[in-house]
Amino acid sequence: MYTRYLSRLFSAMAGPRPVVLSGPSGAGKSTLLKKLLKEYEGIFGFSVSHTTRSPRPGEENGNMYGTSKASVQAVKDKNLICVLDIDMQGVRAVKTTDLNPIYVFIQPPSMNILEKRLRDRKTESEESLQKRLHAAQVDMVISKDPGIFDVVIVNDSLDDAYGKLKDALIEEIKKVQKTNLSS
């Protein structure tokens, strides 16, 4: 009984698990995130990135490409789910920490559809578009490695993809809602 109480207390103190959203540019991460933030106000937070510096003593693996472990912890301490919208390099960096996030990969339905969405978004020059498509191909292969992502969501129908994203996060969302109500 007492052990169970303590373990619940400690996990509550540690705050909700962060969420890593990764996936090719144009896969729909911002679109999905926007929906999530709209439906769940006051549940999610963002880490404040800073210029890269060397880790301070005792801050082993603390510096994850501009997102410090401390800034993620600061969001957790506010009882918010910290959202990390990061590339594959960032994912690898987070993997070396004890942040224990939920790793979600957002995948476009196909390379052709990704290209179309990127073109329609009209944010890319032809050169950056080609670069992004190449990077996307690499990421799609890496994302298939078992053990990197907890969930891979194909963003075909936006509503379906959003439903799957919610499913992946609902446990943490409920924890935050519950703690907010009881405090």
DSSP state of 134: H
Q: Which of 15, 19, 29, 149 binds ligand ADP (CB under 6 A)?
A: 29
What are the Cα distances from residue 1, in Å, to 5, 40, 144, 175?
Answer: 6, 33, 41, 20
Q: Which residues are catalytic?
A: 56, 121, 132
Residue with tokens 């339905």: 109
Q: Which of 121, 131, 134, 174 binds ligand ADP (CB under 6 A)?
A: 121
Backbone angles phi, psi at 32, to 5 degrees: -70, -40
Sign of CA dihedral 35, 36, 39, 44: negative
DSSP state of 101: -
- One symbol per residue from 130 to 169: x for binding ligand ADP (CB under 6 A), - otherwise; what is it? -------------------------x--x--x--------
- Shortest distance in whole angstroms from residue 57 CB to ligand ADP: 37
- The footprint of ligand ADP on residues 52-111 (CB under 6 A) is none
35/97 with CB nearer ligand ADP = 35
